[in-house]
Amino acid sequence: MSFLEACFAYVELTAEDLGRLGKAHAVLSPHFPAIAERFYASVWKDPGAAKVLSGPAQVERLRMTLVDWMSSGLLGPHDERFYEKRSRIGRRHVQIGLDQQYMFTAMTVVRTAYHDILHAEVPAEAAALLRAIHKLLDIELAIMVRHYQLDSEAKLVTRERRAQSDRITAMQTLTAGLAHEVRNPLNAAKLQLELLDRRLRRAIDDPRLTQPSELASKEIERLTQLLNDFLAFARPPELHLEERDIAQLVTHVGEVERPSALKKNASFDVTVEPESYLARIDAAKIHQVVGNLVRNAVEAVSDGGHIVVRLSGGDDAFVITVQDDGPGIPQEVQARIYEPFFSTKEGGTGLGMSIVHSLVALHDGSIKLDTGPDGTRFEVTIPRRQ
């Protein structure tokens, strides 16, 4: 059901009402010029409303537009063209900065004029005709107010995105500085640990002495990987595009990640259609995107679960889908899933999905999330760029 149809149903504008609007038009149309004069006289009296008017020439054009608006409103047809014409009026009000309250007060001027004329000329039918007119004018207001709402929502989204961008920029600056400060002592510790390990092995081949150094070495490797994730977030990389076979790349990622799925006794299916699909991409970054999504899917499924990776290619874009039958992502988490440093995993950095989102955006692509109790599906769409 369209917005206009929903409005008709809500105010119960019936076929009989439409017939009454036609009758009202026959009575009111000779008075339209006078109503327009009265309307803009009221506008000029209000400083807030008058500020959007540039002068008499514009008022004359608007007066003619108002006459047409009154006539087309009563006569119809009340179809999608009617809705689009009213929508343009609403958008225009937003563009010129006319506050919402003036729409309601201006509509009252029209209602009052219709009321006085109908009671004076057709008193016996006035009540029924006005009932139909009030329904119509309420629909007119609903259409125009909708565009104020859409504009407010758009401004709110823009403001939130700007604030989010500022926060991310600040976090990137802090992260880059911290990562650089940590990298040097971490590298030094790694080198000294390797030297210690070699000396221990030469001096005495005792696992009890070398095992702690091996554990420490693995922890340093883990910290190094975390550091690399921080740097990948802090310094958005540039694309190095080259023509690659996406089908081959997705198949390769599947083979790399398959063992982790098998450890959980999960089925792991990779489907590529077509079997060869060329596109200009940054292969390393797409590899990282698919790998992260697959690893998340593996972590999400329970023992014996199911994971499906699918590639489909069209003339203009290709789509990579990663789906699992895990418990789904809670509503409160969905809104923050791409937020840096937000994680529900113990010990997680919260950068994985943020990096995925940024790498997809670098390719001018999009990522769509569909989740519920039966599982989660990520759908990544990337332009082909032949």
242-383 under CATH 3.30.565.10, yes or no:
yes
The answer to whether residue 338 scores a pLDDT higher than 60 is: yes
Give residue limits of the domains in the chain: 3-157, 171-234, 242-383
3-157 and 242-383: identical CATH topology: no
pLDDT at 202: 76
Cβ–Cβ < 8 Å for 82, 76: yes
Owner of token pair 């009111």: 28
Comparing 54 with 384, the larger pLDDT belongs to 384
What percent of the chain lies above the pLDDT cut of 90? 33
Q: Which residues of 222-251 are buried (b: 16+ CB within 10 A; e: fewer)?
A: eeeebbebbbbbbeeeeeeeeebbbbebbb
pLDDT at 165: 63
Q: If DSSP codes are grouped into helix, strand and coil, which group holds residue 133? A: helix
**Token couple for 38:** 């009265």
* DSSP-assigned states of every residue in 212-233: HHHHHHHHHHHHHHHHHHHHHH
The answer to whether residue 347 scores a pLDDT higher than 60 is: no
- Quick count: other Cβ atoms within 10 Å of Cβ 21? 21
Mean pLDDT for all residues in the chain: 82
Which of 43-52, 81-90, 156-165, 285-294: highest mean pLDDT?
Answer: 285-294
At 88-144, the pLDDT tens digits run: 776 776 665 666 666 677 788 888 889 999 999 999 999 999 999 999 888 888 887
pLDDT at 318: 95
pLDDT at 96: 59
At 228-253, the pLDDT tens digits run: 777 666 666 678 899 999 999 999 99
pLDDT band at 310 (very low <50, low <70, confident <90, very high): very high
At 185-227, the pLDDT tens digits run: 877 878 887 887 777 777 776 677 677 777 777 778 777 777 7
What is the CATH architecture of 3-157?
A: Orthogonal Bundle (1.10)
